[in-house]
Amino acid sequence: MKRELPPTDGLPLRAADLFGRRADLGLTLSRQLNIPTPILTCSGTAALVVALRALRRRMPQRSRVIVAAWSCPLVPLAASACPGTEFVLCDLAPDSLDLDPDRLAALCEGPPPLAIIVTHLAGRISDTGPALAAARRCGAAVIEDAAQALGARVDGDSVGLRGDIGFFSLAFGKGLTSGEGGVLFSRDPILATELAQEARAALPFRPGIELRRCAELFGYAALYNPVGLRGVYGLPLRRALRKGDDAAAVGDDFTEHDIPLHALGRWRESVAARAAARLPAYWASGRERAARRIALLRALPGIRVFSDRPGEQGVWPFLLLRLPDRATRDAVMAELWTRGTGVTRLFVRALADYPAVAPWLGDNKALAQARRLADCTLTITNSPWLSDADFAAIVECLRRKLA
Ligand SMILES: *Cc1c(COP(=O)(O)O)cnc(C)c1O
């Protein structure tokens, strides 16, 4: 029977995770990551909404939020729930996932921004240095978007602690999941208190949505495996690709401007807290597998594999590769996207090029690097269900297309 591997290495749930007494996710994560006790939210996007609303209360005259031009479309869509904010895109540095420091400095020359978002994409650690320096000069806050980087450390510390505010996502496929969910924290106790107040006001308990999310989490526990994923991931993927809709294929075709804002229910919190006990072992085996596979990819000419720099210890939901050009990337995808072995793409466009996002953006120019990343990258799942033989077949396909 044909298998369908997940595009990212999500932590699978066990039956025992679903039952038992209440478990405290905030406490579990704060101990594991050595972060202050976080605020739990219904999604990473909701965490960002809460953060931006709290910052607006401090600096009501500021509206601009600077973010990397290649990121999750939900990030600028958060403006729809934060009246008075707009997103300004900053291109990435050449050959990098970091913000371009010169572009960032130039963007901070204008009306002073409310916040600069540093995004730790693909489990990699982005350099917070230029954002902290620019923020100090213009009085902006730094938010670390670590939605894809729960467990990543830099010089031994969790990501999210260098900026003023950090958040993780607990959505399906990001690693640990509570159905949907988010984790919001600040190393500054005063700001943390303001975030907690804002979260209480913004995220009421909503039984209808909670019931739906519980059913979805139950579905994840049952279907997050190479057989179950054929129906819930493989079928919609193939349907989208037949229609030529690459944004739908990767699930970043957000059209709804309405961001759900509600509390994270206790059962879902407890499920994630019980599963979280396995995180250290899961991160360690993911690192070991990624290191082995990156070594094989490095033998191919013309491929850039994004990985850690000295002092960084990222996490590996998937491997992010940049190919020499769009034609080669597309040729590889034509062969591998529907093969069921967890090869896909991250964000298929630069943020400015999603029609749904455009209304929430200020002036945006010079996004060449973001477009290059959208055009030339692909991802390979780091799921343990991808066998060494599966991986060898992917490497062989890359070798042929690069020749
Ligand atoms: C997924 C993601 C988000 C949003 O998180 P949700 O929990 O899905 O709302 C924000 N930023 C990045 C980089 C993401 O990948």
Kindly report, residue by residue over 44-75, the tens digit of the pLDDT. Answer: 999 999 999 999 999 999 999 999 999 999 99
d(CA 289, CA 173): 18
Distance 167 CA to ligand 1 centre (A): 9
Q: Looking at residue 256, what is its pLDDT?
A: 61
Phi, psi angle pair for 211, to nearest 5°:
-60, -45
Q: How far, in Å, from the CA of 121 to the mean position of ligand 1?
A: 10
pLDDT computed for residue 74 by the predictor: 95
Q: In Å, what is the CA distance from 135 to each residue of 55, 75, 150, 267, 298?
A: 13, 19, 24, 39, 36
122 touches 97 (CB < 8 A): yes
The H-assigned helical ranges of 184-298 are 189-202, 207-223, 228-229, 235-242, 246-250, 266-276, 279-298
Binding site membership of 373 for ligand 1 (Cβ less than 6 Å): no
Query: Distance between CA 145 and CA 87 in Å, rounded?
Result: 14
Give CA–CA dist 316/283, Å, rounded.
8
Three-state DSSP class for 87? strand
pLDDT at 359: 86
Measured over the CA atoms of residue 389, residue 392, residue 394 and residue 400, the dihedral's sign is negative
Q: How far is the CA of 402 from the centre of ligand 1 (A)?
A: 32
Does the beta carbon of 394 sit less than 6 angstroms from any atom of ligand 1? no
Three-class SS state of 88: strand
Structurally, the chain folds into a number of domains equal to: 1
Domain span including residue 76:
1-403
Q: Report pTM.
A: 0.98
Enter the tokens of residue 111.
């009306």
- Among the atoms of ligand 1, which is closest to the Cα of residue 170? 7
Q: Which atom of ligand 1 is nearest to the CA of 148?
A: 15
Q: Is 178 in the pocket of ligand 1 (CB under 6 A)?
A: no
Hey, what amino acid is at 191? L
d(CA 311, CA 153): 8
pLDDT of residue 258: 82
φ, ψ of residue 56 to 5 degrees: the values are -65, -35
Handedness of CA 346, 155, 287, 24 (dihedral sign): negative
- CA 48, 70, 348, 86 torsion-angle sign: positive
Pairing of strands 115-119, 141-145: parallel
Cβ pair 306, 322 in contact under 8 A: yes
Q: What is the pLDDT along the chain (403 residues), one digit of tens a residue?
A: 689 999 999 999 999 999 999 999 999 999 999 999 999 999 999 999 999 999 999 999 999 999 999 999 999 999 999 999 999 999 999 999 999 999 999 999 989 999 999 999 999 999 999 999 999 999 999 999 999 999 999 999 999 999 999 999 999 999 999 999 999 999 999 999 999 999 999 999 999 999 999 999 999 999 999 999 999 999 999 999 999 999 999 988 887 668 999 999 999 999 999 999 999 999 999 999 999 999 999 999 999 999 999 999 999 999 999 999 999 999 999 999 999 999 999 999 999 999 999 888 877 777 999 999 999 999 999 999 999 999 999 999 999 999 9
Q: How many Cβ atoms from other residues are within 10 Å of residue 224's Cβ? A: 20
284-312 as b/e: b if 16+ CB within 10 A? eebbebbeebbeebeebeebbbbbbeeeb
Does the beta carbon of 128 lie inside 6 Å of ligand 1? no
Report the alpha-carbon distance of residue 100 to residue 11 in Å, rounded: 33
Q: What is the pLDDT of residue 1?
A: 62
CATH number of the domain within which 83 lies = 3.40.640.10
Quote the ligand 1 centre to 206 CA distance (angstroms). 21
pLDDT, tens digit, 9 for 90 and up, residues 309-332: 999 999 999 999 999 999 999 999
Instruction: Give the distance (Å) from ligand 1 centre to CA of residue 400.
Output: 34
How far is the CA of 390 from the CAs of 290, 292, 329, in angstroms? 14, 14, 19
Residue 63 near ligand 1, beta carbon < 6 Å: no
| SS3 call for 141 | strand
Is residue 169 in contact with ligand 1, taking CB distance under 6 Å? yes
**136 φ, ψ to 5°?**
-65, -40
Counting ligand 1 atoms within 8 A of each CB, the residue from 41, 49, 52, 75 with the most, and so the one to mutate, is 75
